[in-house]
Amino acid sequence: MSTPNPGMDAETFDQFLDQLERYVRERLIPAEKDVIEQDKVPDDILAEMKDMGLFGLTVPEEFGGAGLNITQYAKVVQTMAYAAPAYRSIFSINVGMFNSAIKNGGTPEQQAEWWPRIAAGEIACFGLTEPGSGSDSAAMQTMAKPDPDGNGWILNGTKRYITNAPHADVALIMARTEKDALPKNAHVSAFIVPMDTPGMSTSSPDKKMGQAGSHISDVMLDDVHVPGDALLGGETGQGFRFAMMSLDNGRISVGAASAGYARRALDSAIKYANERQAFGEPIANFQLIQQMLAESWTEIYAAEAMMADVTARVDRGEDTVKHAAAFKVFASEMCGRVVDRVVQIYGGAGYLAEYDAERFFRDARIYRIYEGTTQILQLQIAKRMLREYAQSV
């Protein structure tokens, strides 16, 4: 078990969350049209988000962050996810996976260098997935070889589907430091690589089904020279372990985002059902419409209860691999069911781009894929269950 994290003072956090809720409704939601049309978070809003400290939520206070614990962080993500997904996406890698890796695996020197920088708003990306390997780390092709001219490393390879890569300032890159796959993924190490390092480049942002304003692209590494202190933790063979620990936070973030966006979609459906008339009365009066509303609210409530449980476990220092995976699976699948019902409640209008329901449906689909597909996480949950059973008999 790790050391419990008390987080921000409860009263101060409640005030911050109230302020954030107003900001989401009064500033972010009205700007969604611009985000969609421009396919980017407007520069003035991005600056505001940095000034609010959103890029350093989980960074310790002594390094310029807010020092939130995971329970508080998940509530912030859920609140932000009520608006367009791009708002959450642009800061979530910083405060979720990148910061988690620095916290769990970084040396004191790496923490002292990078925590203040990401808290100030430098944008991070997380380079694990490749064209030929996602969940299968044994197939990873990106290589890191010792620099023959110094104590550093030379990185070569390509990463794929990397969120924030087109505008990131720094990347955490997973690379093989051994040619052959070793037990427990000890052939994979992690490197902190500024994106302006010679040899680093990105492809054009990929065109996606949804989530306008949130950008992903390939990251290409062509003889990228990094110093020895770029190796996370100063030790080879630990990269995959740090990545997996970071992904627990990433999965909690996706689960929280799924719950927040499902709530937004349901609120939209309730409003529409009360306004839309059929047979001389609001369709909200029809029992089968009410059934879809009730099922959606019930499932969102269940996801929120799971979120409260898993984040409390993390903050107590418990091993939450199974719980984080289960929360992400349930919440992301739940969000998919909710937005599908919302389209159904809207009826024909739900298929038209001029109504929000169509966008909700497209945006929500990715939640069941990234940070571990539903199917990969089900395997992970089952393997952990069977391992626990074997240890108990």
Contacts of 79 (CB under 8 A, 6+ apart): 17, 20, 21, 24, 260
- The domains of the chain, with CATH numbers, are 10-123 (1.10.540.10), 125-240 (2.40.110.10), 245-392 (1.20.140.10)
| 135: nearest Cα among 252, 251, 13 | 251
Residue 387, both tokens:
């391992």
pLDDT for position 242: 79
pLDDT of residue 7: 81
Cα–Cα distance list, 161 to 82, 197, 215, 269, 340 (Å): 24, 20, 9, 32, 25
Query: Across the strands, what pairs with 173?
Result: 127, 191
pLDDT at 32: 96
Catalytic residues: 371
Rounded to the nearest integer, the mean pLDDT of the chain is 92
DSSP code for 199: T
Q: Residue 192 forms beta bridges with which residues?
A: 172
Tokens of 234: 């100063």
Average pLDDT for consecutive 10-residue bins of the chain (393 residues)?
A: 74 95 97 95 95 92 93 96 95 86 91 94 91 76 91 94 93 89 79 96 93 93 95 86 80 96 98 96 97 98 98 93 96 98 97 96 96 93 96 90
- For residue 322, which of 242, 241, 244 has the smallest C-alpha distance? 244
- For CA atoms 278, 280, 283, 285, give the dihedral sign: negative
CA–CA separation, 221 and 172 (whole Å): 12
Rounded CA separation 353/169 (Å): 34
| pTM score | 0.92
User: How far is residue 207 CA from its own chain's centroid?
Assistant: 19
The pLDDT, as a whole number, for residue 3 is 64
Burial class (CB in 10 A: 0-12, 13-18, 19+), 40: buried
Largest CA distance in the chain: 81
Joined tokens for residue 247: 């992904």
The helix/strand/coil state of 292 is helix
Which among 258, 393, 277, 244 is positioned nearest to 332, based on CA atoms? 258
At residue 71, the pLDDT reads: 95
**C-alpha closest to that of 191 among 169, 175, 202, 168:** 175
CB of 335 closer than 8 Å to CB of 258: yes
pLDDT of residue 180: 77
